[in-house]
Chain A
Amino acid sequence: MYGEEFEKQVDQIVARYPQPRGALMPALHLAQETHGYVTPAAEAWIADRLGLKAAYVHGVTTFYTMYRTGKTGTYLLQLCTTVSCMLRGCDHVLEHIKQRLGIEEGETTPDGTFTLVTVECLGSCGTAPMMQVNDEYYEDLDIERTDALLDALANGESPKPGPGPLRVIVE
């Protein structure tokens, strides 16, 4: 599955845990990093390696929001819409992104660059509004910073993650 290096890494993960099944979540993370999402084939292979049933593994995959079972755009935009972000105007940021990209929540732009979803509290409430793009946090997102971020991503750049220079509110 995904080559020798992947299999070796799974075995290394297994060695860290008191029982092989402990390695299930990190193995799923690794499969997702490797392929972009968790496939039934990966689930079956991992199940076999850890001595589990494929249906059990699928039950775990689908329990957790972060494991994806289908393809997403190059950049998965995960905008937090829980209370602290709401108080700082994340709903306006959401509307702006939707309009700019011409997609609704859960959709991917036709060129496959962006997928937009809303997520629950990401623990970055002091620098709200914020969103996670793939595995990085981008914080203090007013409309201007959101646009700059999307521009940079669209150009294939990797903008610096983290907070902005100032706290913001979008009204």
Chain B
Amino acid sequence: MEKILTSFIDVEAPHTIEVARAHGVYDGLKKSIGMDRDELIASFKASGLRGRGGAGFPCGVKMSFMPKDPSPQRPSYLICNADESEPGTFKDRVILEKNPHLLIEGMMISSYAMRCSCAFLYIRGEYGHAARVLFEAVEEARKAGFVGKNILGSGWDCDLVVHRGAAAYICGEETALMDSLEGGRGNPRLKPPFPAQAGLYGCPTTINNVETLSCLPYIVEHGPEAFAAIGRNERNTGPKLFAVSGHVKTPGVFELPMGIPLMELIEDVCGGMLRPDKKLKAVIPGGSSVPVLRAEECQDLPLDFDAVAERGSMFGSAAVMVMDETTDMVKVLARISHFYAHESCGQCTPCREGTPWLEKVLQRIARGGGREGDLALLDDMAARMMGTTICPLADAAAMPVRSFVEKFREEFEYYIKHGRSMVSAG
């Protein structure tokens, strides 16, 4: 497959505007400006592009929710969500650090199509290097006339503001992100109203992931059909960045067609298991909040939104975490639960109280002090957390608990009975 998002990241200084332009970046923006805005949005719909942040919502459909008559009193905004924080996810960082101009181009195309007067790029606070690259890239783009006043002589003004977060997972949730961008604590808002109705500062807003926006220039230049021709089927189109970590030989970020089989990704792309004599035990296919898959469930599984959902998990952010047979699943789950307990914003009781309780019970089991009934307790708590909060963080904490306990129940039972790990017990 021709690479679209990462085609020139290995050359010298790919983040500079000279190199980016030599590789055709901004040609798509030039083509878009002057095109009919609704036709542009229709072509994004036709491409089948689904949001790469995790939810997989059709990008063009989301854009079509925006009003066609923004005013200076009620402007429209675009936000690029670069808060990449779901454990295991490190795909956007490649674009942010090495191909920032492709992202800026995508943001400006999207802003033009939605008639925005300002675009914000919310980048997670820890990505300091990426933030510095972006601050510089935006200034380069401004000097070249791609950002700011009277873009490419069209009379359309649109600024681009890079905003650094400060380490809060919850700010990747779109409404918490808006609160954070407005200068507040990142507490998610109730929906509706949806961001397109009342988003940033109460104005119409669309929020898209880094990778999603970076796909737009290709669609403009080559047409929606060319984009849709990549991938497994018409519901799962385009190129995809897969972030593979854990027990494989060569982890990393790989641009591949949507729908690549999981075992092909592990065996061929990542060089197989890290320790060839250790068998595959489990894979978390889409970031730490999605249900885990046992090794046998990983066979013949195309990695895309629909196929992974049919297998009972979620494609999420395509963060593939691979675990071999030496892995202590109780300890892994305790570590995952620690993350969500740490990151709960504290707004809703089931999440604020539930996430540390889950962690506490799991730590108790992992320390050898598990009690009879702990597994039922975990399941009961998880069930009471799911769907009972403003945002999905409680679900994100509960889903792995239920799937780990269900699929690796014997390991949890062994811990409770013997006070130690079944895995290290050999």
Q: Which residues of A contact B (CB under 8 A)?
A: 16-19, 21-26, 28-29, 50, 52, 59-60, 63-67, 81-84, 86-88, 119-128, 132, 135-137, 161, 167, 169
Q: Give 3 closest A-B pairs by Cβ, nearest first.
A: A24-B183, A64-B166, A125-B245
- Tell yes or no: B228 within 8 A of A by CB: no
Complex contacts, B252 vs chain A, CB 8 Å: 126-127
Contact B246 A87 (CB under 8 A): yes
Nearest CB on A from B401, distance (A): 14
What is the bound-complex CA distance between A65 and B166, given in angstroms?
Answer: 6
What is the bound-complex CA distance between A26 and B121, given in angstroms?
Answer: 13
Contact A132 B166 (CB under 8 A): no
Q: What would 25 A/B residue contacts be, using CB atoms closer than 8 Å?
A: A16-B159, A17-B161, A18-B200, A21-B184, A25-B163, A25-B183, A60-B185, A63-B168, A64-B166, A66-B126, A83-B288, A83-B336, A87-B245, A87-B327, A120-B342, A120-B343, A121-B85, A121-B339, A122-B126, A123-B84, A126-B90, A126-B243, A126-B245, A167-B250, A169-B274
Q: Which of A82, A84, A169 has the most CB of B within 10 A?
A: A84
What is the bound-complex CA distance between A137 and B132, given in angstroms?
Answer: 13
Interface residues contributed by chain B, number (CB under 8 Å): 60
Q: Across the interface, name the chain B residue whose C-beta is closest to A60.
A: B185
Contact A60 B184 (CB under 8 A): yes
Complex contacts, A64 vs chain B, CB 8 Å: 125, 165-168, 186
Contact B246 A84 (CB under 8 A): yes
With A81-B335, A84-B245, A124-B90 as contacts: A19 and B129 at CB distance below 8 Å: no
Contact A25 B180 (CB under 8 A): yes
Contact A25 B243 (CB under 8 A): no
Complex contacts, A28 vs chain B, CB 8 Å: 166
What is the bound-complex CA distance between A29 and B164, given in angstroms?
Answer: 9
Complex contacts, A25 vs chain B, CB 8 Å: 163-166, 180, 183
- Tell yes or no: B348 within 8 A of A by CB: no
With A25-B164, A81-B335 as contacts: A18 and B201 at CB distance below 8 Å: yes
Nearest CB on A from B45, distance (A): 29
Q: Across the interface, name the chain A residue whose C-beta is closest to B252.
A: A126
Of residues 122 through 149 on chain B, the ones whose CB sits less than 8 Å from some CB of chain A are 124-129
With A25-B183, A29-B166 as contacts: A125 and B129 at CB distance below 8 Å: no
What is the bound-complex CA distance between A81 and B338, given in angstroms?
Answer: 10
Complex contacts, A161 vs chain B, CB 8 Å: 129
Complex contacts, B164 vs chain A, CB 8 Å: 25-26, 29
Of residues 230 through 251 on chain B, the ones whose CB sits less than 8 Å from some CB of chain A are 243-247, 249-251
Contact B126 A132 (CB under 8 A): yes
- Known pairs A25-B163, A84-B87; list 9 more (Cβ under 8 Å): A25-B166, A25-B183, A60-B183, A64-B165, A83-B321, A84-B245, A86-B331, A125-B87, A125-B90
Complex contacts, B126 vs chain A, CB 8 Å: 66, 122-123, 132
